[in-house]
Amino acid sequence: MVPLDPVPLPIDHVLRGAPDAAALVDRAGVLTFAAAEETVARLAGWLAARRLDPGARVATWLPKTRAACWMPLAAARAGLVHVPINPSLKRAQVAHILADSGAALLLTHAPRAATLEGDVPAGCALHLDVGEGDALPRSAADPDALAALLYTSGSTGRPKGVMLSHANLWLGAISVAAYLALTPADRVLGVLPLSFDYGQNQLLSTWAAGASVAPLDYLTPRDVVKAVERVGATTLAGVPPLWVQLLEADWPEATAARLTRLTNSGGALTPALVRGLRARFPAARLHAMYGLTEAFRSTQLDPALIDDHPESIGRAIPFAEVLVVRPDGTRAAADEPGELVHAGPLVAQGYWRDPERTAARFRPAPAFARSGGTAVWSGDTVVEGADGLLRFVARADEMIKTAGNRVSPQEMEEAVTAGGETSEAVALGVADARLGQAILVVARGDGSVEAALRERLKRELPGFMQPARIVWRAELPRTANGKLDRAALREELA
């Protein structure tokens, strides 16, 4: 069990496993913690030999290669700031991130480099491979120093860089390793993008626990099933659209039984998904979590409670203070909706070179908070029950206001998927002269079950929650991090 030590270290100290234990497992073989430490030290030495200014940004635009896995540690050890770029992003988005971050170096490979076609900014050196330099000792950096810029997916505009310190990354890793109860015997299958805070933390929390990670780039859900069996994975993290796909895949009973821990973030689980995952993976503890890049992770639900409270996002994780706040800045009462505000040492340092948006999101903590200083005002509406469990309602700008009623998109989506007619749905509000907004549902499927779906919704929902229109799609769009792309659908349909 990882102790909850609140004293952070530079993030390159996170390799804490036994020297001969496996740290990373891939198709090339197994790398021990001793070998990983040596690799990070020599990669840091190679970076230092580039003679970049202290604090210079170094970007990676790679699949889950070993270099991509070690760069968060090696860059920090060399006194540089790592900028991981999602490998699924396209030329314009990558060019924006390179220019916005002022990256001095981009590490990528030939197929991706060819797509940039001269869009690498002046002053940014392009490298298609890495070498080895003189091994550097572990960093003595100030834990509050900047260690990484994680760029958001940009679904609501151009990607913005969230500034994360060594302390943010370290305490996030320790917190997750502790509440997931990771041990050296665990093997984590890393399927999420390493540019995603949730995906990167899979590396850091696993190594903090002395366990091993198996990074995986996959094309189909079947690839994930085969990898679980191949590497003997005990732990799998995902976002709701991925769970939908994995539940539709064929899982040999013995392979499904290998998984003892499932973790979800990047979107709320529906009760139907919870039931499906609990049935398919009966040996696995299911951790429902809520997070935002600006504060990494805020809450998690004890797996022992998920059957009785499938709609809950749980309570604050270690090192986080999570508050439900009224518009006037006072504490919301039990069962009263309010804005989720996250305070404490997991709060990031703001948005890179964007003081206006930083001031809007990163504001002083409420007067009643135990933690002083800056808090992240999420814009998300939640409710805290008398039992202390939190329930996500909606983002404030996504609430549907119809016929004088406020409808949570999540509640609507849960209702649509509850009967099995479709496994995925997005609910949007569209302008309507009579209602103010009408409810538009975009669902996965061919529409042959629409009559049955509408009949069930009429039985289960009040009149003001009946969708005015249901649009059927073979597939729903996703962001670069695998989430359902609500913004793209809204732009197209609303």
Ordered by where they begin, the domains of the chain are 11-384 (3.40.50.12780), 399-493 (3.30.300.30)
The answer to whether residue 15 scores a pLDDT higher than 50 is yes
**pLDDT at residue 181, rounded to an integer:** 97
Q: Summarize the confidence of residues 297-305 as an average pLDDT.
A: 96
- 206 pLDDT more than 70: yes
Is pLDDT at 266 greater than 90 in this prediction?
A: no
| pLDDT at site 404 | 73
Q: What is the mean pLDDT of residues 255-265?
A: 97
More confident call, 145 vs 400 = 145
Worst-scoring range by mean pLDDT, 28-42, 200-214, 405-419, 437-451?
A: 405-419
- For residue 471, the model assigns a pLDDT of 95
Confidence of residue 157 (pLDDT cuts 50, 70, 90): low
Count, residues in the chain: 494
Is there a contact between 228 and 187 (Cβ–Cβ < 8 Å)? Answer: no
Sign for the CA dihedral angle at 217, 298, 341, 73 comes to negative
Exposed/middle/buried for 254, CB within 10 Å: 0-12, 13-18, 19+? exposed
Instruction: Please name the amino acid found at residue 376.
Output: V
Q: What is the mean pLDDT of residues 443-453?
A: 95
Percent of residues, the chain, with pLDDT higher than 90: 82
Nearest CA-CA partner of 49 in 36, 62, 58, 60: 58
Looking at this protein, which amino acid is placed at residue 438?
Answer: A
pLDDT value of position 48: 98
What is the amino acid identity at position 142?
D
Contact (CB, 8 A) for 57 and 84? no
The type of residue at 122 is: A
Q: How confident is the model at residue 398 (pLDDT cuts 50, 70, 90)?
A: confident
Per-residue pLDDT at 462: 81
Q: What pLDDT does residue 154 have?
A: 46
Give me the pLDDT at residue 156, please: 42
CA 21/CA 362 separation, integer angstroms: 41
Q: Is the pLDDT of residue 94 over 70?
A: yes
d(CA 85, CA 255): 32
The confidence band for 163, taking pLDDT boundaries of 50, 70 and 90, is very high
In degrees, to the nearest 5, what angle opens at C-alpha 79 toward C-alphas 78 and 81?
A: 105
Q: Which residues are CB-neighbours of 301 under 8 A, at least 6 positions away? A: 287, 288, 289, 309, 312, 313, 314, 315, 389
The per-residue pLDDT of the chain, averaged, comes to: 94
Q: For residue 487, what pLDDT is reported? A: 87
Of 130-139, 453-462, 473-482, highest mean pLDDT? 130-139
* pLDDT confidence tier of residue 494, bands split at 50, 70 and 90: low
Residues 429, 464: contact at Cβ < 8 Å? no
DSSP 478: B
Q: Is the pLDDT of residue 335 over 80?
A: yes
Orientation of helix 409-417 relative to helix 450-460, angle to 10°: 120
| Residue 134 predicted with pLDDT over 70 | yes
3-state secondary structure string across 314-360: EEECCCCEEEEECCCCCECCCCCCEEEEEECCCCCCCECCCHHHHHH
Predicted pLDDT at 93: 86
